[in-house]
Homo-oligomer: A and B are copies of this chain.
Amino acid sequence: MGEAERQGTVRERLLAAAIEKLAASGPEALQARPLAAEIGASTMAVYTHFGGMPQLLDEVTREGFARFEAGLARVERSDDTIADLLALGIAYRQFALDNQQLYRLMFGLTTPGTRRTKERDLTTAGSPTSLSEGISAFNHLVGAVTRAAESGRIAAADPVAVAGQIWSATHGYVLLEMTGVFGHEGHGLVRTLQPLIINLLVGLGDTRANIEASLARVFATSRRYHHISAPQRGRPSDAGTTATS
């Protein structure tokens, strides 16, 4: 393959090659020798610049959270706080699906080759809350929740806790969608994630009509997501066509 990354320091080229190879061939492909060969260096480059494969992977994780944070920061805020929250969720899912392997690695879910590493602790590894980039990304969500609460749309006495709830829901959905649980089409989005967030927001105090209006506003303003079908007005949960009780 073309040994790309002709510019930048050896360290930067190694990191770029690792991220590229991760997305292309999965975590198993993150190996010292092929990576070094790809940039035209020898294996030692991994050790002089990172200290070993585990540290290189930590840097990949850090870079992943930085890109994640950048992706979330790109969603502009409006005067509709719930629409902003929904847009944030869409951006979240978009990043995760566009960078599946990276997303998994970021949350410590994939354990690449390097097993020499001594007991990579599950809790304190390269976890989101232990990385400043991860905290920064989460704070986008906390901020959106805080603004939504201040606007009176939802009740969030503890914005961090509410943000954790939304994060849990989105994170879980995204991972299940990645494993193909909801089918490989876009069904899962309108059938599961969308009603999930809507129902959660209803439970937080907003009305269903207002939420759906905000959701429509998101699709209207940002044509970046026009490939996602618009929501349908109606009752509680979702796609079903039957009448209510």
A125-155 CB mask vs B (1 if < 8 Å, else 0) is 1011110000000000000000000001011
The closest CB in chain B to the CB of A138 belongs to: B181
User: Is the C-beta of A236 less than 8 angstroms from some C-beta in chain B?
Assistant: yes
The closest CB in chain B to the CB of A124 belongs to: B180
Q: How far, in Å, is A237 (CB) from chain B's closest CB? A: 5
Q: Looking at the complex, which of A69-77, A78-86, A104-112 is the stretch in contact with chain B? A: A104-112
Indicate if the CB atoms of A169 and B169 lie closer than 8 Å. yes
Indicate if the CB atoms of A179 and B244 lie closer than 8 Å. no
Complex partner residue of A200 from B110, B124, B173, B203, CB under 8 angstroms: B203
Indicate if the CB atoms of A164 and B191 lie closer than 8 Å. yes
Cα distance, A242 to B161, chains bound together (Å):
14
Enumerate chain B residues within 8 angstroms of A125, measured Cβ to Cβ: 179
Complex partner residue of A165 from B113, B123, B199, CB under 8 angstroms: B199
Cα distance, A163 to B230, chains bound together (Å):
22
User: Is the C-beta of A192 less than 8 angstroms from some C-beta in chain B?
Assistant: yes
Q: How far, in Å, is A61 (CB) from chain B's closest CB? A: 12
Cα distance, A28 to B110, chains bound together (Å):
11
Known: A122-B180, A158-B238, A167-B172. 8 other contacts (CB 8 A): A28-B111, A107-B179, A127-B179, A127-B180, A129-B179, A157-B244, A165-B199, A199-B202
